[in-house]
Amino acid sequence: MKMTEDLKKAYENMKTGVITAGGFLGNDERLLVDIIESDEEKIRSLNINLQDYIKKIRYLFEKGKEAFEEPVTIDNKWLIKVDEARGHLPCPFEDGIFRKVNLRIKNLNNNEELLITELSLHLIEKHHFFQGKGSPFRVEPEKLKKVLEE
């Protein structure tokens, strides 16, 4: 994959202070294309069916929203909590605006935990961007697998 003009623009939008104070890249100094390719390779090596995982996360978001910001156990497998802050965030790829909604997921079988936002889910689903190393909202593919495995 090559750094297209769209990827270059998204990369600029991801830098510290442009959309969020901390940005989306953390301390990762790689090019955006390299971050995406590395995570795509990790997803393949872990045998993660990304579409299945995205459906599962959407399901957990829905169940969590029904609980009105209270922790709730889902399918005897996950303890989840959804909370929402005021405001919205634009996607750095400039293809949507998202509410600041967080989903905390704890796998009850292995105690692995994950925090994912609606924007993070979009970035993963549409752009295969899990955020840069060191970003506070980075979703590590290994952690994703551990938390969502049943």
pLDDT, tens digit, 9 for 90 and up, residues 66-109 = 997 899 999 999 999 999 989 999 999 999 999 999 999 999 99
What confidence score (pLDDT) does residue 69 get? Answer: 85
The helix/strand/coil state of 41 is helix
Range(s) of the domain holding residue 70: 5-149
Task: Report, as an integer, the average pLDDT of 19-35.
Answer: 95
* Rounded distance between C-alpha atoms, residue 5 and residue 105, angstroms: 36
What confidence score (pLDDT) does residue 1 get? Answer: 72
- Is the confidence at residue 150, as pLDDT, over 80? no
Query: Domain tally for the chain?
Result: 1
Q: How confident is the model at residue 3 (pLDDT cuts 50, 70, 90)?
A: confident
Q: Rg for the chain (alpha carbons), in Å?
A: 15
* Model confidence, pTM: 0.94
Query: Across the chain, how many H-helices and E-strands are there?
Result: 5, 4
pLDDT, tens digit, 9 for 90 and up, residues 106-116 = 999 999 999 99
